[in-house]
Each structure stands twice: as structure tokens, then as C-alpha cells.
Amino acid sequence: MGSEAGPVEINGLLVIDKPGGWTSRDAVNRVGSVVGRKTKVGHAGTLDPMATGVLVVAIGPATRLIEYVQQMPKTYLATVRLGGRSDTDDAEGEIVSTLSPRIPDVDQILRALQAQIGTIQQLPPRYSALKLGGRRAYDLARQGEDVTLAPRPVRIDEIQVHSYEWPDLQIEVRCGSGTYIRAIARDLGDALDCGGYLTALRRTRIGEFTAEQGIGPENLTRADLLERFRPPSAAVAHLPAVELDQAQVGLVRQGRALDAARVRWSNAASASGEVALFDEAKNLVAIGEVVPDGGLAPRRVLA
């Protein structure tokens, strides 16, 4: 891997434990300042400034794999305050308390949460990064313009209640990409007829990337980064793997397909879909796709 004294091309993933008050872009910029301006840096899965926890940052050619991390299931620990509503659906917005709210019991909360589990149509918050007519919804909302977003399908796998003492409820949510935890808080409050909004949020996991693996960006050094970054293959560990010989690596880098007769599967073969292509040193070379005759066509070359 080399030492800090010499030039090192970094190609991989870094788990940042984002602190509150930082935007996801702030964290990416911090990593970028460490690796240098010429190295591409991006992140998978935006966290609001109020939120903390797992932010997976991709560095170098691994930025081409960001979408695979974004598709991974996520786990959040969230605190919902019942008995009020917020125009942003969280504590950052203008909050209006509910007069004489109906105080729900745990069973009522569990039933209301159960209704949000599965593949549901979720209405995104008005203050979100989604675009309307090429502009961010939160920019339009801040300017007082009417923001009408359409419900979107999201997958919520599980919601567990960790603690409840009126008006604060702590829940753990396991969900798919695109889910707004703020919207879960809002919809829960509406279902209970008392109002609800998010007061704290921590993302504890994206796929196999956990908060325990994370490092704070505040004092990040190059030595920290070199010690902690993960190989690009961590983003596609769920894909079947194919090992290529030197000649095949050359073909893939040229964008040429591989003959089915010479494909060597490293684990269970897939009759269709995407596969991860490795060289003999176990470095990820590209993402390929199985073609009808059983051969492989490169779809995304990393270098």
C-alpha cells in the first residue's frame, strides 16, 4: 500500500461517522482535502445536517460503485417527539404543539407503526433534496413557494420500539434506499392524531458498513485514511465473482466480452445479472453482466 511519505493512489471506501451539524458534502470535502484535489470523492446516501452516523465515502475509481452502496439496506436509531408538528418534519423546522393531544399507549403506537411496514407509498418531506422543475424542494419551500411532491414507493423492513415515555419515542428502523425517517415520524403522529416529528437520528448501518467502523471527519489525516479504507470489492460483495487471467483483464479493460468457455467462477455462478470481475491478485477490475450465451460483457470498468 505504500507509506504516507510517497504517493499512494487511493481506490476504495471509507466509513465516516458523521457528526451533527455537518452536511454530507462537508464530510466529502474533508476527505477530498486529505486525498488531494485530483482524486475524485463522493458519498452514498445523504444524511441531513441534524443526523449522525454512517456515511460511506467512495474515493478514486470506487466512486463508480456508489450506487451499489446506496442500494444496500440501512438501519437507523430515531427519536420521535409526539404531540406536535414541524414544517420540516424534524426539530429544525417551525414547530406547532398540538392542543390537548391524545396520548397514545404502546399498543396503539405499535399498531400505527405496523401500518408503515412493507413496500408503502411514502410522501417525501416538503423540505427535501428532491427536485421539482430542476430545483431542490427545500429551496422552493424556503422561498415560500408551493411544494407538491408525489408519494414514492419505499421499503420498510422492520420498526422496533426501544423506549417510550410521553412525548418521546425511540425506534429502530430497518429500511431500503430512499426512505425518509422524518416521514415515518410525521405519518406516525398523523395516524395517532397527536402529531409527531423527528428530534434525533443516527444511521447505525448501511449493508455491512457500521458506525463502529467509522471515523470522525473533524481531524481526519491521511494516515487514518490509509489505515481504514476498504477495497472497492466491499461495495459489491453480494455479487457473484469471476476471476480473470491477465489476458482477460486486458480484454475487459478494452470493453470486450469474454467467451463463456473460459469463465472461472470463484463462487456460485449466476445464470443472469451482474457479476464482479477480479484479477488474479483479487483486485476488482470491473462489473460485468452475463450475456445470453453464458459469456460476460463488461459494463463498468474501474480503471
- The catalytic residues are 48
The residue whose grid cell reads 443472469 is 272
Q: Which residues contact 12 (CB under 8 A, 6 or more apart)?
A: 58, 59, 60, 62, 229, 230, 231, 232, 234
99-107: list long-range contacts, CB under 8 Å, 24+ apart.
Answer: 101/167, 101/194, 101/195, 102/192, 102/193, 102/194, 103/166, 103/194, 104/192, 104/194, 106/161, 106/164
Helix/strand/coil (H/E/C) assignment for every residue in 177-239: CCCCHHHHHHHHHHHCCCCEEEEEEEEEEECCEEHHHCECCCCCCHHHHHHHCECHHHHHCCC
Q: Give how far Cα 26 sits from Cα of 9, 20, 157, 175, 225, Å.
A: 22, 11, 30, 25, 16
Distance CA 287, CA 271 (A): 15
